[in-house]
Amino acid sequence: MRILVVEDDPRMLALLRQGLEEEGHGVTVAQDGEVGLECARALVFDVIVVDVMLPKMDGLSLARRLRDERNRTPILMLTARDHTIDIVRGLDSGADDYLTKPFSFEVFLARLRAVGRRGPIPQPPHLRVADLELDPAARVVRSCGRKVNLSRTEFALLELLMRRQGNVVPREVIMDSVWGVGANVESNTLDAFVRLLRNKIEPRESGRLIRTERGIGYGIWEPER
């Protein structure tokens, strides 16, 4: 499964990420609610794991925002609060299940599998900007009808930008979404990957698709004619 984990405790986040990756899952992490919301908007996940107590935006607000935006990805909420009213609030916010800390990793995996079975998540549609097409399910990119071979990182970067077409995605959100929170990635590494991506998806006849907002981030738009 492809899983988003939003948790501000570095130790807990590292343990969950390591354990999930060892189980063969793809994991994206975020350490505050705002970044978690951006990741959930930009990418498609099978399950979202959210801690209740988060900086910038708490887990309850994050779940409500996603449901208000008609994002139906199953949510497993984590918290140290085990009072009935807290559980009710979590479920009422849009969470599909609620797990209190501390918990065993085996129980966590079982609840994760159960939440992941709560009905199929619709397959993401093809994404298109001008003559550029991206099929998230098949992981295929075509430019002017020609298949473009991208690395895993290039594909993740392009998918993120195309899902937020017409918007500037902050550098920090891109780096956290593509490489993961806490990854030892320099800012100029992002710039290098954008250059590589541009060389592959922007043939001269199509014009520029990826734009740079200096000091802020990158975005993708229909080219100006």
CB 76 within 8 A of CB 53: no
CB 175 within 8 A of CB 223: no
pLDDT tens, the chain, 225 aa long: 889 999 999 899 999 999 999 988 889 999 899 999 988 887 878 899 999 889 999 988 999 888 888 888 899 988 877 666 766 776 777 788 888 888 888 889 988 888 887 654 555 578 888 888 998 878 899 988 889 999 989 998 998 898 888 888 888 888 877 887 666 778 889 999 999 999 888 765 556 889 988 888 999 988 765
* Alpha-carbon Rg for the chain in angstroms: 18
Residue 225's pLDDT is 58
For 141, list phi and psi in degrees, rounded to 5.
-120, 135
> Whole-model pTM above 0.85?
no
Give the angle subtended at the CA of 162 by the CAs of 184 and 127, to the nearest 5°.
135
Instruction: List the domains of the chain with CATH numbers.
Output: 2-116 (3.40.50.2300), 127-220 (1.10.10.10)
Cis peptide bond N-terminal to 125, omega within 30: no
Beta strands in the chain (DSSP E): 2-6, 26-30, 47-51, 75-79, 97-100, 127-129, 132-135, 140-143, 146-148, 169-170, 210-213, 217-220
DSSP characters over 41-66: HHS--SEEEEESS-SSS-HHHHHHHH
